[in-house]
Structure 1
Amino acid sequence: MNTKNRLAKSLEKLLQKKNLDDIRVSEIVADSSLSRKTFYRHFKDKYALASWYFIQIYSKSFDRITEDLSWEEALLRYLDIYQGKSIILQNAYKSRDINGLRNYDIAVTKKTYQKYLKSKGADINDDTMKFAIEIACRGGTDMISQWLVNGMKIDKEQLVQLIKQTLPNDILRYID
């Protein structure tokens, strides 16, 4: 297992017990049996590690709308992974820090929507489209994190349909 994965495994273990804001880098390195110097060679801080951890999940799920999955398939895969790692991700999303997972999630989702919509012929530089993408990213991220933090009380297939039904029409017309 490479260094980044070892650090991520340690973070994952700690996130099963407490909020990201309450985890110290010293705990991560102690659990991974790596040094602080090694940690900082790879990551700026614990939030950068959490973001790297998240992108590993994201690249296997929603990001795949730009490759080989439909929008619904990709979002369902994303929610499947979230259900399997619910406690870990709940504790990551509860972060109050500006560098927390929510802001990173919005930024990554925005890039994914831009890439996807551009490939479908949308003008992603149009002001209305920019606004629609922003609404989709922020709204989708917040609703998914709320679903997660509140105990996933509705079925994930229903959540996907609700998100899809409420996407701005400027985006919806490009969704397969």
Structure 2
Amino acid sequence: MNSKKMLAESLEKLLLKKNLDDIQVSEIVAGTSLSRKTFYRHFRDKYDLASWYFAQFYKASFGRVTDDLTWEEALLRCLEIYQEKQSVLKNAYASHDINGLRSYDIAITKKTYEQYLTSKGADISTEIMRFAIDIASRGGTDMVIEWLLGGMKMEKSKLVWLLKQTLPKNILTYID
């Protein structure tokens, strides 16, 4: 197993018990056979590691909307992973740091929308489209986080439907 994965597994175990803001790099390293120097060779800080960890399953779920999944399939797959990793993600999203997972989630979702819409022929350089992408990225991310932190009471398929129905029309016209 490579160093990044070992550090991510250690972080995941710690996130089962406590908030990301309360975890120290020394604790992450202590859960591995690696050194602190190795940690900093790969990551700037614990938030960078948390973002890398999140990116691994994001790419395998909603990130696939740019490849081979429909928008609904990609989002549903993402929500399934959220259910599997509920305890870990609750503690990761509880971070109040500017570098926390929420900020990364919004940024990667925005990038995914940009790639997806460009591949569908949309001009993402217009002011209205940039604004629509920001709304979809921020609003969608916040609603999914609220669903997660609120105990995931709504059916995944209903959340996907609601999110799609409330996308800005400038984006919705490009969604399959």
Instruction: Give the TM bin, normalised by the shorter chain.
Output: over 0.9
Matching residue of 2:166: 166
Matching residue of 2:32: 32
Distance in 2 (alpha carbons) for counterparts of 1:95 and 1:17: 14
Matching residue of 2:70: 70
Three-state SS of the structure 2 residue aligned to 1:121 is coil
Distance in 2 (alpha carbons) for counterparts of 1:158 and 1:89: 21
Matching residue of 2:103: 103
Matching residue of 2:127: 127
TM-score (norm 2): 0.99
TM-score (norm 1): 0.99
Identical positions, percent = 70
Matching residue of 2:138: 138
Instruction: Show structure 2 runs of 5+ residues with no match.
Output: none
Amino acid at match of 2:70: S
Matching residue of 1:54: 54
Tell me the CA shift for residue 33 of structure 1.
Answer: 2.1
Distance in 2 (alpha carbons) for counterparts of 1:128 and 1:32: 47
Matching residue of 2:113: 113
Distance in 2 (alpha carbons) for counterparts of 1:40 and 1:117: 35
Moved over 6 A (4+): none
- Per-residue CA deviation, residues 104-151 of structure 1 (Å, 9 max, x unaligned), is 000000000000001101100010000000000000000000100110
Instruction: Show structure 1 runs of 5+ residues with no match.
Output: none
- Per-residue CA deviation, residues 41-97 of structure 1 (Å, 9 max, x unaligned), is 110000000000000011000010100000000000000001000000010001000
Matching residue of 2:13: 13
Distance in 2 (alpha carbons) for counterparts of 1:162 and 1:12: 30
Distance in 1 (alpha carbons) for counterparts of 2:158 and 2:9: 31
